[in-house]
Every structure is written in structure tokens, then in C-alpha cells.
Amino acid sequence: MSRFSAAILLLVIGFSGVCQENQNKGQLIAQDAKVIKAGGGYKFTEGPSVAPDGRVFFTDQPNDKIDVWSEKDNRITTFLQPCERSNGTYFNKKGELVACADLHNRLVIFDMKGKMKTIAENYNGQPLNAPNDLWIAPNGGIYFSDPFYARDYWEPGRKEVQDTRGVYYLNPEGKVIRVIDDYKQPNGLIGTPDGKTLYVSDINDRKIWKYDIQPDGTLTNKTFFAPEGSDGMTIDQQENVYLTNKVVSVFNSKGENIAKIEVPEQPSNVCFGGKKRNILFITARTSVYTLKMKVKGVN
């Protein structure tokens, strides 16, 4: 094959790939929808989660606060400040906000009046590193990642006590068990709505892994899923998985990258919000963004 022919072939392959990606985007994103800035002026937005009424709660950890976006009037208000330096969040079935609060290395619950209670803060009698992200299974059990990122607001001399940067499961009875212990730096995670599959990011190793969830909460059948790390993750009703890295990357359940969503700032996390769960809500450094979708998130 001549160099000219090879160049033409590469152009055809590249064009075909772009066409396929655009087609996939058309199946995911509402017609003519664009990424819209919903709010700005933050230091580092993270941890979005959707409330039962469709509002999205998200964190600004450097400013130690949780804000709320409402689809109804496209307005953002503050829910709680301070908030124990909350990072990842997720709503439980009672409509309470569960948060990874790494001011004191613990998992907490906030009711809608802002009252807090601690539900996990150690493993094997030792403090957790700093819970980062979480997902609540249908049975109420909570999976959470526990990496180690040194914070400037910690007291001097705080050290990494746990012997590994793991992923844990807080079972419905209140016991914490370690379910992953072989990552460089665990971070984002999300499960399927049937409670059978868990996706977890090893962000420093730039890999996403997929697991089968057992009845006791343990994980089996570790399977490579995607060749990139992710800060936060979400899933839609078609079981497409949304990762946040340089862009929002969408992978189908087979691990195929079917779309990339460009955002003005590097995304950190993502969830589906709005009353119909058809608004993709993206946290991205100093701002938050929305995108109208054809697909919907899970409740």
C-alpha cells in the first residue's frame, strides 16, 4: 500500500469514527441541546446527587459548603455551610443526604434541616483515610472509596493510617468491610440499579473495573471495563456509564466508548437531575453545567 493510500484509509477511518460518535450523541443528547453554565465562582465543585424532587445537591469542598440547583427556576442556593468538608454525596431512600466528609475522615448523613449524624469513621479500629465518593445499593448498603489526598485544612501531622487505599462497604447492619484493596488510588464509583454490578475507578492507574456484587456486599469477578480513570461517575437507564476526566466520556455496558461530551472546564463529577431525570448535571472546577438529554438517569 502506498503512503497516499494509507493516508486516505486513515482519513476514512477517522471520518467514520467521528460520524459514529455524532450518531451516538444524537441518541443520548436532546436535539439542539448545548452545555449550559448554570453557576460559577466556586473553588472546586464536586459530589452532585439528585434529591427525590429532582433538585441537585453539589459540594464546593474548599469553601466547605453544599449548594443546590433547581431545574424549576435554574437557580442555585446554599443548603449548608460549613458541611464537614463534604465531597461525594448520594441520597438514601429516606431522602437524606449521605456525604463523604473528610474533615474528620467519616461518612455522614444530613437531614434536610442540615442536622448531621456519623455512620462510619473507622475500619478495624483505625480512622479511615478520607472517604471520597459513594453509591448506595438498593438494599441500603453503601459502597465508598477511601483514597488519600492530603488537605490543607487538616490538622498538622495527620497521617495515612490505613494500610491500603481501599473501597469499603457499609452493610445495612452498620458493619464496615473492605471490598477492594489492590488499587493505586480509588475514586469514583457507581452501581447498576438492580444492585448486581459495581463500577469503580482506579484514577491513578487510569482504569475502570467492573465487579459482580454478592448478597453479602462483597465483590467478585473483577473485569477490566475502560482504559481511563474517573473522578466521579453516573449511569443512565440504558446502563451507559458516564466518566469524568478531561471530558465526560460515555461507555456502554460492553465497555465501548460511544460518546464524548466536551465541557468548558475539566469535569469532576456528573449526575442526572431534574424532575424527569433528563438533565445531565456536571460539576467542573469553578463552575457547574447542565445538558438536556434524551436518555434518563436512574432514581
pLDDT, one tens digit per residue, over 203-217 is 999 999 999 999 999
Spatial distance between the Cα atoms of 15 and 61, rounded to a whole number of angstroms:
41
Contact between 197 and 235 under an 8 Å Cβ cutoff? The reply is no
Provide the Cα torsion 261, 263, 265, 271; round to 10°.
-70
Instruction: Give pLDDT, residue 2.
Output: 58
From the centroid of its chain, how far is CA 249?
12
Query: Quick count: other Cβ atoms within 10 Å of Cβ 31?
Result: 7
Digit-by-digit pLDDT tens for the chain (299 residues) are 555 554 454 444 454 444 456 667 889 999 999 999 999 999 999 999 999 999 999 999 999 999 999 999 999 999 999 999 999 999 999 999 999 999 999 999 999 999 999 999 999 999 999 999 999 999 999 999 999 999 999 999 898 999 999 999 999 999 999 999 999 999 999 999 999 999 999 999 999 999 999 999 999 999 999 999 999 999 999 999 999 999 999 999 999 999 999 999 999 999 999 999 999 999 999 999 999 999 999 87
Contact between 291 and 36 under an 8 Å Cβ cutoff? The reply is yes
Instruction: Give pLDDT, residue 7.
Output: 47
* Beta strand spans in 184-229 (E): 186-191, 197-202, 207-213, 219-226
Segment 75-127, tens digit of pLDDT: 999 999 999 999 999 999 999 999 999 999 999 999 999 999 999 999 999 99
DSSP 258: E
CB-based contacts of 181, cutoff 8 Å, min separation 6:
164, 166
Instruction: Give pLDDT, residue 25.
Output: 82
Contact between 107 and 142 under an 8 Å Cβ cutoff? The reply is yes
Contact between 146 and 101 under an 8 Å Cβ cutoff? The reply is no
CB-based contacts of 274, cutoff 8 Å, min separation 6:
50, 54, 71
